[in-house]
Homo-oligomer: A and B are copies of this chain.
Amino acid sequence: MTNAESSGSGKAQDGHHTRRATIADVARLAEVSSATVSFVINNKHAMRISAATRERVWAAVRELGYRPNALAKSLSSGSSRFIGVVADAIATTPFAGQLIQGAQDEAWRHGYVLLVTNTDEEPEVEVQALRMLLEHQVAGILYSTYYHREVELPPSLGNASVVLANCYAEGAVAPCVVPDEVQGGRTATEVLLAAGHRRVAFVNSVEDAPATKGRLQGYRIALEAAGIPFDENLVLTLGSHQESGSIAGDKLVEIEQRPTAVFCYNDRVAMGLYDALRERGLRVPTDMAVVGFDNQEIISGHLRPPLTTVALPHYEIGVRAVQVLLGIDTGEPPGLLRHVIECPIIIRESV
């Protein structure tokens, strides 16, 4: 601690340093032992405390404004109520936030709280984050990424129990929770097919990622199920940004027997595609139906017309990851290492 810190907090706290009430204070006021207090506030049924005593304890708790010290509780019970989360990029998209929110909601249901760390994909920062998490006796760690990808588990994880959220590791040493890219791709394509389209293009990304492979696979499965032959000319493999969407628009329009619908790798590509189509006077969805992926609200909800898209289930991944970590029964086979979460379709007006 630096001098600045101690003097700073000293300035804020000096003077009326009212000590917080402890369990001993409550016990004294209620005229019982601290053990009894512990039993009633923790609702231990095993110990049968008389209603009168119980009430005296609660009255004392209220009067003193007593709050249990969670740290002391962890120390003595030997079980901490912390779940550590390490995120690679908390500040670039709302995705990490969604995952964290899901994790928090589920953690709270079971009396756990989240210790959040952001590593910015820097190995040294990650090492520091892990050390800190471990020193705080976390019950387990959620190792998460902001886009679905493969990771290598850092050795400094030690033998902590960990679940991978939105990512996976080769050796499959730890359970992982990932989005169902295949189903997502299939659903996106099916929505287009259901609207009567037969020439459905897919603007894929060049990246080597589960998303590119999975969504393409889903696209093919949907076509096959509809009895439509796969036409490789209808699959464009470009980048994953707005710019690629524009390029895709340019190319799509040139294809003979122009497709009437496009499934875009993500919303940003769809955004660029909208631009290209508009420049040619083509309208969505009448001239070209479009489906996106990611449900980046700021894009998909506000394009004109609003974009029908497949959502990434970050919130649900956070929820499930905590369930897996805590060993909550979710009806799945126990010990399952790969948990796949459905990507729901968000219907708007582009189909």
Contact = CB atoms under 8 A, between A and B. Distances in A.
Contact of A101 (B120, B132, B326): B120
A327 B1 CA distance: 12
A302 interface: yes
Interface string A66-103: 01111110110000100000000011111011101100
A116 interface: yes
Contact of A134 (B67, B115, B161): B67
A154 interface: no
A199 to B, nearest CB: 28
B101 A91 contact: yes
A8 B90 contact: no
Nearest to A12: B161
Contact of A296 (B8, B96, B115, B298): B298
A271 interface: yes
Interface in A117-165: 117-118, 120, 128, 131-132, 134-137, 139, 158-159, 161
Contact of A115 (B13, B114, B161, B298): B114
A92 B91 contact: no
A327 B12 contact: yes
Nearest to A105: B118
A65 B67 CA distance: 35
Contact of A98 (B72, B91, B108, B278): B91
A325 to B, nearest CB: 9
B9 A111 contact: no
Given A68-B135, A94-B94, 4 more contacts: A70-B132, A97-B118, A275-B304, A299-B299
Contact of A69 (B108, B137, B246, B299): B137
A334 interface: yes
A98 B196 CA distance: 44
A326 B9 contact: yes
Contacts of A238: none
B75 A104 contact: no
A104 to B, nearest CB: 6
Given A100-B118, A327-B7, A329-B4, A136 B113 contact: yes
Contacts of A304: 242, 246, 275
A71 B74 contact: yes
Given A94-B93, A97-B94, A134-B67, A8 B302 contact: no
Contact of A11 (B13, B114, B334): B334
